[in-house]
Amino acid sequence: MSQSLITQAPMSAQAPMSAQAPMSAQAPMSAQMHDSKDPQWYYKAYWRDLSDDYLAMVEGKCKNSEFSNCCMIGPNESLREILEKDEMTLVKLNITRQQIADVLESVHVAWQYSKDFEMDHTVLYPEKFIQNRKYLVREIVYLGSQYSPFQHPNDNNYYGYKSGDRNISIIRMSDQKRFDFGHLLIHMIRYNGFFEGQTNMTQSCYRGISGFRIDPEEVIDFFGIQENVDYSITWKPSKIWQERTSQNFGIETVKPFMDKYALRKWTHFDSNGLLCLSIYLSWNKRDISSIISSELLTKEYDTHELIKLYVNSDMSKRRVSSWNKEFKMTEEEFQQHLETVKKDLHKSVDLYLNSNTPNTQKSVQLFDLCILYHEDITKFEIPEFLKTIDGYKFPDYKYKKGSVVRLKPVTTSVMESIVDF
């Protein structure tokens, strides 16, 4: 039995600072902030391509506990000296920062794909083996994410879904040696050349983690990273139905509308004739019964008549919410928007319905798959003819009886292979 990786604080205590520190607490701004570069450029900029003023701003963030509660460098450390020293170390060892980032990313991706659980896979943070049980990995995902100090103040993008929302712990099984790192470091090492500096863990809620800096020599030794080896992950394109929303109620109200107005319908019965799944290709993005009165079930509408009613009702409801773009439109812009939405939807529905073979390239991307789970069912119980619908693979999810799930068609990349390390 391997050693346990982490004893964690309650979830409410774990979320990192969201990194929206007041500008006055970061560093003085300069003309550098008003240059002609796209603000998004800085997020991936190598540190040597940045001005002294910009690096001073980055250093201010790194030392600010309001930006990162553990800070990213020590109060007496120089950001430039840390960056220069780590750069020289990599040159001496003839290892690139891309190689290190590729290995760290491979740990994360291998953990995501691994089905080799060390313990009960139903626990909140399961431990999984990767690389033929060479390493045991655990990821702790937080309710928030740590921003990169290199992100420009005028770059309002949220990158937390890509990096900065988790900590990763690895045990090397051969000697039980442990290695920890924050997910944001993959990005900062790869693009900015930043491995962090001293971190103040005295008030930290990250139990079991001694610090967030990665020493280049330590990570190279831990994983046995070799010169001139390409550790990048090989990806391949894949079309899948990806979850948009799910709820464990509402079958009774959704099913009548879908039975009457969905573009296509599939059903699956078990060996005893019990209805397990109802699957619909739906041109509407949300539960139509919540948008339009149930009186529609007593009337006969063709699809295009219903589209007009649905769009008018849905957009009018969106119009009053400050969260939606329709709220910010003038009345003239809103009316034009209504007509555009209806026109595009009419066109896509016609393209799909009038084609001898459903046109997955041009029309189905605008539609949803709505699945009603009448019984508990796993992917192993789904018949082959339902595992791919209109060229998109059925999701590898398990839902409970009574679930209503909406999925959208996406073209994404899936891992094909990872190099041994």
Is residue 2 domain-resident? no
Domain that holds residue 101: 11-232
The residue from 216, 232, 248 where one domain ends is: 232
To the nearest 10 degrees (0 to 180), the angle between helices 216-223 and 79-93 is 40
> How many structural domains does the chain have?
2
- Ranges of the chain with pLDDT below 70: 1-35, 120-123, 201-210, 286-296, 355-363, 379-380, 395-397
Q: Is residue 35 part of a domain?
A: yes
156 with 51, same domain: the answer is yes
pTM tops 0.75: no
Residues 210 and 242 in one domain: no
Q: Three-class SS string for 146-197?
A: CCCCCCCCCCCCCCCCCCCCEEEEEEECCCCEEEEEECHHHHHHHHHCCCCC
pLDDT in the model for residue 118:
83
pLDDT at position 299 is 76
Is 220 found in the same domain as 249? Answer: no
**Domain membership flag for residue 421:** no
Any domain includes 4: no
- For residue 361, give both structure tokens: 């390239």
Residue 181 inside a domain? The answer is yes
The Cα 257–Cα 31 span in angstroms is 58
**pLDDT recorded at residue 132:** 94
**How high is the pLDDT of residue 198?**
86
pLDDT at 11: 33
Domain-ending residue, one of 202, 232, 262: 232
Does 6 map to a domain? no
Q: Residue 197: its pLDDT value, please?
A: 95
Asked whether residue 175 is domain-assigned, the answer is yes
Q: Are residues 125 and 269 in the same domain?
A: no
As a dihedral over the C-alpha atoms of residue 249, residue 253, residue 256, residue 262, rounded to 10 degrees, the angle is -70
Phi, psi of 277 (to 5 degrees): -135, 140
- Residue 11: both structure tokens together: 């979830």
Q: Are residues 213 and 178 in the same domain?
A: yes
Domain end call among 188, 206, 232: 232
Does residue 15 lie within any of the structural domains? yes
